[in-house]
Chains A and B, each alone.
Chain A
């Protein structure tokens, strides 16, 4: 099981992570971030296989994929 951490101060809401997610586990959230954009959210965590493509393709270093029970600094 994987989770994603979004730094909402850095995310610009370009939704590249959502567009390129191979398993369509991500979705653009309806709520607004403090910056006034729609951040991505992991709506189907059971589908996420931890490929980290969203993390690699994020132009703003805003996503970090973490495994359950193991949190990166």
Chain B
């Protein structure tokens, strides 16, 4: 269990983990993807992962550019299929640590089916799912996670579809570790990612990331300060949420509408694919 964060500097992270020739990143001003990379590197440093034994897998999208910046082996797979490739790597060589970067459109929209079945199999991968409510790279189309009434290039009159809650889905499927954090505060995501990497089995960390360019600009959150403040104001800690639902006044409960729960949703143990496979091989003498 992590007790506290070790003090490291950005300069140390840069020399140890980054491909310096790839920088600066392609991300827009005010995008939180750089922060996701930053927190992941802190978590990796905390766990003490050997980057020579770690593979970063991604699909397509802004978030999927992240493995390109890390000085480790990476795989830029086809759209939505990052988890399928990650499962393959893990099944072929269980000694490798697999970390998947994916977005809401990539991981939960186009690759939603792979998400379900990778959780069901309980492959030992750590998935960092970056949720920015939109398909940012392709021009701001609506994603499965676009909030109710959210404007995008394909919902110019407001979104009428109910948004998908990825964490509740993963929880229902029995993923051993499920957490959601906004990028606006650094300590909690760093700890969660470290716990997710240490966890045996599927770990999903959903990062709520501002996208001022594709999503914010259509929803009155164009300014960097404004959209980052929105993520502070519209997220409620899980404990507080449950407390308000149980004991809160009608006004307090009304104030929860349109907000997002954050916290660690599930932290359990479950037999992984490898455990069962090893048991099968031993039983059938394959």
Contact = CB atoms under 8 A, between A and B. Distances in A.
Interface of A: 5, 9-10, 12-16, 19, 35, 52-53, 55-66, 72-73
Contacts, number: 66
Interface of B is mostly: helix
A66 B11 CA distance: 10
Interface residues of B, number: 27
B24 A16 contact: no
A52 B224 CA distance: 20
Contacts of A9: 23-24
B248 interface: no
B38 interface: yes
A65 B228 CA distance: 23
Contact of A64 (B10, B18, B38, B186): B10
A57 B18 contact: no
7 contacts: A9-B23, A9-B24, A15-B224, A57-B35, A58-B10, A59-B27, A60-B25
B31 interface: yes
A63 B35 CA distance: 13
B186 A56 contact: yes
Contacts of A19: 224-225, 228
A73 B228 contact: no
B10 A55 contact: yes
Contacts of A73: 11-12, 15
Contacts of A63: 10
B58 to A, nearest CB: 17
